[in-house]
Amino acid sequence: MRSMTKVYAGLGSNLGNKRENIIKAIDRLDACEGICVKKKSDFYNTAPVGGPLQPDYVNCVIGMETEIEPQVLLEEFKKIEIGLGRKPGVRWGPRVVDLDILLYGNRIVDEHNLKIPHERMHERAFVLEPLCEISPDIKHPVSGISISELLEKLK
């Protein structure tokens, strides 16, 4: 058996039944072979950042363990998004559901379609607040700063 890695993912929705969309995405992730969802933050209502005029988001962060490599995990995330009705659209535009890999253990991934840690997570309260709620002491693998300290700096 391959070893499990702690992974944190951000989820957001601003179309349809936002909370239900996120719950369905979490359920589908948890049902994937090789993924076990361990923690879930509360839901956070947040204004959209960038992109066109659009409804507010509901966001949350989950902690999970997986043996799936980052690129394959990204493919699973995309399948779940499409399965829940996400359509291609404008960058940072409205969406039924959005799944982002925030942290994958202490790994640093810099590929054309995948950046881990998520390249803007340290600038986004809608990521740091729910992440801090479930794991305030984990450290950002590039800066070495804890999530709670990153959130404090942002405020």
Q: How many folded domains does the chain comprise?
A: 1
pTM for the full predicted model = 0.93
> Is 14 within 8 Å of 54 (Cβ atoms)?
yes
Structural domain boundaries enclosing 86 = 5-154
Write out pLDDT tens, residues 28-66: 999 999 999 999 999 999 988 777 788 999 999 999 999
Residues known to be catalytic: 86, 95, 98, 100
Instruction: State the CB neighbour count (10 A cutoff) for residue 153.
Output: 11
Question: Which band of pLDDT confidence, cut at 50, 70 and 90, is reported for residue 146?
Answer: very high
State the CATH number of the domain containing residue 65.
3.30.70.560
Q: Please tell me the predicted confidence (pLDDT) of residue 90.
A: 63
Question: Which band of pLDDT confidence, cut at 50, 70 and 90, is reported for residue 2?
Answer: low
Q: Please tell me the predicted confidence (pLDDT) of residue 92.
A: 65
